[in-house]
Amino acid sequence: MKSTYFLLSAMTASLLLVGCNGDNVDTGSNEINSKKISSSEVNVSQSSKNENSEVERVVTHGNFVEYETEAELFADAELVVIASTNEDFMDREHIVKYVPSSDEEEGLPKAIEDFYTKTSITVEQVLKQPASEKVADNKKISVIEPIALLEDGSKILSVENYQEISRGQQYIIYLKKNTNGEYGVINMTNGRFNLESTDQIVNLAEHGHDNDKAKHEKMKDTVKNRFAKEIAKAKK
């Protein structure tokens, strides 16, 4: 009978742990203090030194061209690099565009048309680039990330749970030019892969993002396999 109690206790405890962990937060060695404060808002303490401000993060939902495999992603990317940034997220150029004010005459509330961050990255190695353009190692380029801080500093808006590139860490980044000729990260979070062990992917089950972490890690493994030599070189 004792062994039956033990078995039942263990199973109950396991189920409780699984249940409580269903919408959990990924934490690497450089753990972020992230907790869900509502179904859509995450209060994030960034890991970088000057990124420790706690700003409400709102995830918006949209439709984007999604690449399910690394092969598809690589094929469609125009520029793939190993790069890093030395800019804290809060210090980057945050752009929030509103519908032109002339339209407010219609009696409509102010509407955000577009938002993004321009992040300055230093290219350490080029893994793919267009034949028509040479991007040199150590060159600094500006890339668009689908995330931005509102001008009053009250909220961070993130498209589809995108996680920004962290300062001082190496990434493999898949980029494509937008219609204005600017390079931007494609495939949301699954278009930038942290080569350190501290990626900050947060699962948000109630957003339909309940398997973001697993999906990202799977694609990251493929990326690391494809570029094993280049990554080893970058680590030196």
| Site residues, another protein (CB under 8 A) | 1, 4-5, 8-9, 11-12, 15-16, 18-19, 22-23, 38-41, 58-66, 95, 99, 103, 106-114, 116, 144, 146, 155, 157, 159, 176-180, 182, 184-187, 205-208, 210
How many residues belong to the chain? Answer: 236
> CB of residue 71 vs another protein: minimum separation in angstroms?
17
With tokens 């060695």, the residue in question is 29
> CB of residue 76 vs another protein: minimum separation in angstroms?
9
Q: Which is nearer to another protein, 148 or 231 (CB)?
A: 148
- Calculate the dihedral angle through the C-alpha atoms of 74, 80, 82, 85, rounding to the nearest 10 degrees: -120
Q: What's the rounded Cα separation, in Å, for the pair 161 and 163? A: 6
Q: Which is nearer to another protein, 86 or 211 (CB)?
A: 211
At 70, the amino acid letter reads E
Q: What's the rounded Cα separation, in Å, for the pair 84 and 48? A: 13
> CB of residue 175 vs another protein: minimum separation in angstroms?
8
At 97, the amino acid letter reads K
Q: Which is nearer to another protein, 78 or 196 (CB)?
A: 78
